Amino acid sequence: MRNIDIFKLAEHSRFTSLHGVVLAWCALVIIFDGYDLAVAGIALPYIMKDLNVESAHAGIMVSAALFGAMCGAVLLGTLADRIGRRRAIALCVGLFSVFTAAAGLARDPVTFGVLRFMAGLGIGGVMPAVVAQMTEFSPHKLRGTLVTLMFSGYSVGGMIAALLGKGLIEHYGWQAVFFAAAAPLAIVPFLLRSMPESIPYLIRQRRNAELTAVAVRLSPDYAPEPGDRFVIPNEPTPGSTPIRTLFANGRGMSTCMFWLTFFMCLFMVYALSSWLTKIMANAGYSLGSALTFVLILNLGGMIGAIGGGMLADRYSIKRVLLCMFALAGISITLLGYKPPTTALYLLLCVAGAATIGTQIVVYAYAGQYYPLSSRATGIGWASGVGRLGAISAPVMLGFVVAMNLPLQLNFLLMAVPAAIAFMAVLLINRKPRNRGACASHGNLSHSPATAAALSEH
């Protein structure tokens, strides 16, 4: 009997069709997720006018989805480790598609907020699940690139929302861009059929036939033998508490710093995505131009995500993040000085790369840091705590906009979190203490240090 470490197969494999399937599905889900997140900010000036909502109250309306996302990241992120990520991802897609579309029927702020909260459960819950899924199946040398490439779909979704907003809102009203969010429901049956299930879940369920099929697709060199047993090396026992592992073996300080980093990064992302259109309109730009700014911001986010992932695979991911947070603070601050059009576009692109793109690299960093059995839990809790930043940003900016302060102060408030996140990343310990050893047997079994290698970059 051989103990087969399927994670070693994944880590050392070449890019195969299975990786392509996982990447395609996860990226598509993130595109839909990004659309649902961006759509409220795109339509916000029109919603405020139609529902007669003041700036301060509009911030609370926008934050309803983000509060739901916080709850979804914690609850559904943890659930994904228990019921399997494939079903958790499908559940989240259903939630955010149905309730975002339903929000287009709302005729008062309270109903709108409740429906956006329900959509937020799916929006927040899907992120840790897809990050863990992509990280788990990725070859070690391509892990950062594939995770950030997948997450660049978030920016693609924002760009689609901006493009549809320019085309649909003027002709059919703001409701049309919400109704369009129902489209992802059509892909749920295909997702359940073709996306592979998470490996730890299959091992816990003793579904050896599916594990063998995955192993063969990961590595053509693997030759199955009767009696092969798939194992998870160096992982907690089934009775352990996943949340407890986030603070075990020297990870406590780093976990807190991840939470702070997520908070500050998401504050910047949602401050910009929720209020950029309205702030630029107040500064004298037309609503059409303001929507173009959102498009450029998300284009920058896509560039930052892919570029950041490639850099993270070549250099230290920690150093890459430090540079990106520094760029975020500088570019956002300079936006407040109304530079010439060309410089404004460039700054918006850099700001998108260094906020939206950085958020994606932070997810990849967390995905590499935590052990396999609690990876979705670790990302889910970091994302959930970080959602407090996402929730507070639209509310705080709503009050700032209502105060009619100078444009520079609006953007300075969004830039301060970059400095705090910079300091938090500095304090993350990239090498937690050894998680212990596990006996391994057979030609393809794991050495005791390999599970730690999954979280080392």
Which is higher by pLDDT, 266 or 213? Answer: 266
Distance from C-alpha of 156 to C-alpha of 169, rounded to nearest angstrom: 19
Write out pLDDT tens, residues 17-51. 888 898 999 999 999 988 988 888 788 888 888 88
Domains recognised in the chain with CATH numbers? 3-454 (1.20.1250.20)
Q: Where are the beta strands (DSSP E) in 187-230?
A: 229-230
On the question of pLDDT at 126 being above 70, the answer is: yes
Lowest-pLDDT range of 271-280, 299-308, 355-364, 422-431: 271-280
Q: What is the pLDDT of residue 234?
A: 54
Helix axis angle for 17-51 and 85-103, nearest 10°, is 20
In three-state form (DSSP H/G/I as H, E/B as E, the rest C), the secondary structure along 271-329 is HHHHHHHHHHHHCCCCHHHHHHHHHHHHHHHHHHHHHHHHHHHHCCHHHHHHHHHHHHH
Helices (H), 315-406: 317-335, 341-369, 375-402
Give the residue carrying structure tokens 């570029």.
307
Do 409 and 205 form a contact (C-beta atoms < 8 A)? no
Q: What is the pLDDT of residue 32?
A: 93
Write out pLDDT tens, residues 389-415. 888 888 887 887 778 778 888 888 888
Q: Which H helix or E strand runs over 142?
A: none
Best CA proximity match to 131, nearest among 108, 116, 151? 151
Q: What is the pLDDT of residue 232?
A: 63
Q: Are strands 229-230 and 3-4 parallel, antiparallel or unpaired?
A: parallel
Distance from C-alpha of 378 to C-alpha of 185, rounded to nearest angstrom: 28
Residue type, 287: L
SS3 4: strand
In the numeric block, which tokens belong to residue 275? 């209020």
Q: What is the pLDDT of residue 231?
A: 66
Q: How confident is the model at residue 440 (pLDDT cuts 50, 70, 90)?
A: very low
Distance from C-alpha of 362 to C-alpha of 364, rounded to nearest angstrom: 5
Say what the pTM is.
Answer: 0.70
Distance from C-alpha of 364 to C-alpha of 368, rounded to nearest angstrom: 6
Lowest-pLDDT range of 216-220, 382-386, 411-415: 216-220
- Give the largest CA-CA distance in the chain: 72
Helix, strand, coil percentages (3-state) for the chain, rounded to 5, are 80, 0, 20
On the question of pLDDT at 188 being above 90, the answer is: yes
Residue type, 373: S
Under the phi-then-psi rule, with left for phi > 0, alpha for psi from -120 to 50, and beta for the rest, what region is 247?
alpha
Q: How confident is the model at residue 236 (pLDDT cuts 50, 70, 90)?
A: very low
